Amino acid sequence: MAAAPPSYCFVAFPPRAKDGLVVFGKNSARPRDEVQEVVYFSAADHQPESKVECTYISIDQVPRTHAIMISRPAWLWGAEMGANEHGVCIANEAINTREPAAEIEALLGMDLVRLGLERGETAKEALDVIVSLLEEHGQGGNYYEDANSCHSFQSAYLIVDRDEAWVLETVGKYWAAEKVTEGVRCICNQLSLTTKMDAEHPELRSYAQSQGWWTGEGEFNFSEVFSPVEDHLDCGAGKDSLEKQEESITVQTMMNTLRDKASGVCIDSESFLTTASGVSVLPQNRSFPCIHYFTGTPDPSRSIFKPFIFVDDVKLVPKTQSPCFGDDDPAKKEPRFQEKPDRRHELYKAHEWARAVIESDQEQGRKLRSTMLELEKQGLEAMEEILTSSEPLDPAEVGDLFYDCVDTEIKFFK
């Protein structure tokens, strides 16, 4: 398999983002045939000394986990992106560094996304969760459902809440982080931190010196020290695509950016595809709810972003959940991935028809796509009303919001 193409995540803060909203977006570039599911997990209390089984290893569970909504490759435990009930959003990027990533099975970067969401009430708390688990368990293991070779990576994270974002970049158990509270920030599959670091592993610099990567003199530049010597990835065009927006950035701007194939933000290549996308809107005014949009289907330029709001009584959406194979899942048995089961969920199957029509029939495809965007627009307008209403949100009205949107989409494809 070729090296992974750039996968992007973005955040925009007011005043660049409109109306006092923080806007977050992520495209997940993964192997073309991989299915992503969108799954809600309610908040839960756990027994003392209980364990949680992550993708490859089990770790100690905490007394309580927050409610989360995640988009994840259907074969693993963690998440590519997601949000929790406290308005924390996290996405990760696989990165290569001077230090090769461990192939030994440990926590995946995607496991740490989910663990951060389950355990952190703020972006900074989620960061602290991730780095402490990294210290304790390390990161490693295959990022792809591939029996033939192990694709292991280091990880970078964009961790966002209503007030601030943290860019966290890791090399093994070592890490550095930068706090962001204004403007636009993008991360992709390469190190981006330079000399501004607001938090770091206590032994980061001494480790770099011990490896001969830094002399200990002059300014410490994280990317220069830890980037691979031959780093051919270019994330520039993608980063510019949002930063160069002249108008205020809205949820629609973010969706348009994620759909942009010309800049390379939306991937559609021989081996890789943007297999799922997510956008979140986090009002800095806490009297308004955070709204999270997920596609649950590949290629955002041919998908519908569907809204979700955390309330106490969320209606589960089995139609975006892949079949469960339990202990018989080839991802759970060793040696792993000896076969690939059909992980397509109901929405994915219905959407395959739409993708085929758009690709094969120009006229019908154009009509289909405009109808899809019209469906999406109705959802965006309804959410706009919630964010501008003086009335408090009625939880009963939005508990089945995502369920209804998925149901409507499937009926429309049929």
Q: How confident is the model at residue 386 (pLDDT cuts 50, 70, 90)?
A: very high
Residue 1 has pLDDT above 60, yes or no: no
Helix (H) or strand (E) holding 412: helix 401-413
State how far the alpha carbon of 172 is from the alpha carbons of 53, 140, 154, 175, in Å: 21, 8, 7, 8
165-193 in b/e burial notation, b at 16+ Cβ within 10 A? bbbbbbbbbbbbbbebeeebbbbbbbbbb
Q: Which active-site residues does the annotation give?
A: 9
Q: Which domains does the chain have, with CATH numbers?
A: 8-413 (3.60.60.10)
In tens, the pLDDT along 259-307 reads: 999 999 999 999 999 999 999 999 999 999 999 999 999 999 999 999 9
What's the CA gap between 301 and 30, in Å, rounded? 16
Which range is least confidently modeled, 99-108, 131-140, 210-219, 244-253? 244-253
> What pLDDT does 195 receive?
97
In tens, the pLDDT along 49-98 reads: 999 999 999 999 999 999 999 999 999 999 999 999 999 999 999 999 99
pTM higher than 0.95, yes or no?
yes
Percent of the chain with pLDDT over 70: 99
Q: How confident is the model at residue 6 (pLDDT cuts 50, 70, 90)?
A: confident
For residues 112 and 78, the answer to whether their CB atoms sit within 8 Å is yes
Q: In whole angstroms, how large is the CA radius of gyration of the chain?
A: 20
